[in-house]
């Protein structure tokens, strides 16, 4: 079965520093990977996706993610964190057979001024 | 193009009552997903529907919960005889499935409180 894992419950980073939010996946076949962000009391917003092609995917709000097939990872990155980036981040994989979108447990990003 | 619309945004029910949560997908989207989120927890998949069909309900509790997505109108998640443990945020997402590469778009959620 397809799955994603987010090994960190929380990531703390100082404003202006680079940030990384980790995600690893387990799929059979080609992975379709997504990152979403959730601000307090809001729904999830789509950030970016990897389908095929370049391993570095650029998305909204300056975020990017690096697909690494050998490490089965899809880490979310940003060169310079903002306090306003503080939110809950979810990695997701699309089940190739059922089209079901499966989410990780989420990582809370806290950016300190 | 309006986004995914969920209503109500907040719903309070007494134990034993029924809760009805509505989701209108984005225009042109024929696939709907329902997720439950407990405070400080991740998203738990509940059910995946296409128009008039339940594709995957593996995340739905066996009793009291049901979902539909009729040919006309919104998708409905129905919880009968609610209990305190049903208190959570329920999110709906929709997608226009051409391929599995299509992202899903989420509504703002319905926050159910059972008192």
| pLDDT category of residue B37 using cuts at 50, 70 and 90 | very high
pLDDT at position A14 over 70: yes
Task: Please indicate whether, in this complex, the C-beta atoms of A49 and B56 are within 8 angstroms of each other.
Answer: no
Q: Rounded distance, CA B107 to CA A56, Å?
A: 28
Residue B99, pLDDT score: 61
Q: pLDDT (tens digit, 9 = 90+) per residue, B90-105?
A: 999 998 875 667 888 9
Residue A96, pLDDT score: 72
Task: Please indicate whether, in this complex, the C-beta atoms of A36 and B106 are within 8 angstroms of each other.
Answer: yes
Chain A / chain B CB contacts < 8 angstroms: 61
| pLDDT category of residue B84 using cuts at 50, 70 and 90 | very high
Residue B98, pLDDT score: 55
Query: Torsion over CA of B43, B44, B46 and B50, rounded to 10 degrees?
Result: 40
Q: Give me the mean pLDDT over the A3-7 stretch.
A: 93
Check: CB of residue A9 under 8 Å from CB of residue A108.
Answer: yes
Q: Give me the mean pLDDT over the B31-38 stretch.
A: 93
Out of A16-20, A90-94, B20-24, pick the least confident.
A90-94
Distance from CA of A84 to the nearest CA of B (A): 19
Q: Give me the mean pLDDT over the B28-54 stretch.
A: 89
Contacts of B104 in chain A (CB under 8 A): 46, 101
Contacts of B56 in chain A (CB under 8 A): 98, 100
Q: Rounded distance, CA B16 to CA B13, Å?
A: 8
Task: Please indicate whether, in this complex, the C-beta atoms of B56 and A98 are within 8 angstroms of each other.
Answer: yes
Whether residue B55 lies within 8 A of chain A, CB to CB, comes out as yes
Q: pLDDT (tens digit, 9 = 90+) per residue, A47-89?
A: 999 988 889 999 999 999 999 999 999 999 999 999 999 999 9
Whether residue B54 lies within 8 A of chain A, CB to CB, comes out as no
Residue B70, pLDDT score: 93
Q: Which of A49, A96, A99 sits opposite B97 (nearest CB)?
A: A99
pLDDT at position A43 over 60: yes
Q: Rounded distance, CA B45 to CA B22, Å?
A: 17
Contacts of B45 in chain A (CB under 8 A): 100-103
Task: Please indicate whether, in this complex, the C-beta atoms of A94 and B101 are within 8 angstroms of each other.
Answer: yes
Closest-CA residue of A relative to B44 is A103
Q: pLDDT (tens digit, 9 = 90+) per residue, B60-77?
A: 999 999 999 999 999 999
């Amino acid at each position: 079965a397809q799955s994603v894992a987010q090994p960190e419950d929380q990531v703390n980073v100082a404003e202006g520093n680079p940030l990384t939010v980790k995600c690893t996946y387990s799929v059979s076949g080609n992975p379709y990977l997504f990152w979403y962000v959730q601000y307090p009391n809001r729904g999830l917003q789509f950030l970016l996706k990897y389908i095929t092609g370049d391993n570095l995917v650029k998305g909204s709000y300056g975020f990017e993610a690096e697909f690494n097939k050998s490490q089965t990872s899809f880490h979310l990155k940003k060169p310079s964190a903002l306090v306003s980036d503080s939110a809950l981040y979810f990695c997701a994989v699309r089940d190739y057979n059922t089209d079901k979108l499966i989410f990780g447990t989420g990582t809370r990003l806290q950016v300190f001024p | 193009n309006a986004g995914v619309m969920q209503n109500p945004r907040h719903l309070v029910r007494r134990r034993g009552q029924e809760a009805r949560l509505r989701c209108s997908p984005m225009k042109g989207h024929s696939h709907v997903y329902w997720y439950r989120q407990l405070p400080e927890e991740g998203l738990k998949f509940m059910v995946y529907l296409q128009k008039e069909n339940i594709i995957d309900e593996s995340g739905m509790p066996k009793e009291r919960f049901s979902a539909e997505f009729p040919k006309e109108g919104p998708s409905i998640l129905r919880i009968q005889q609610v209990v305190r443990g049903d208190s959570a945020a329920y999110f709906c997402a929709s997608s226009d499935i051409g391929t599995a590469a299509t992202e899903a778009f989420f509504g703002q959620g319905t926050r159910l409180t059972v008192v």
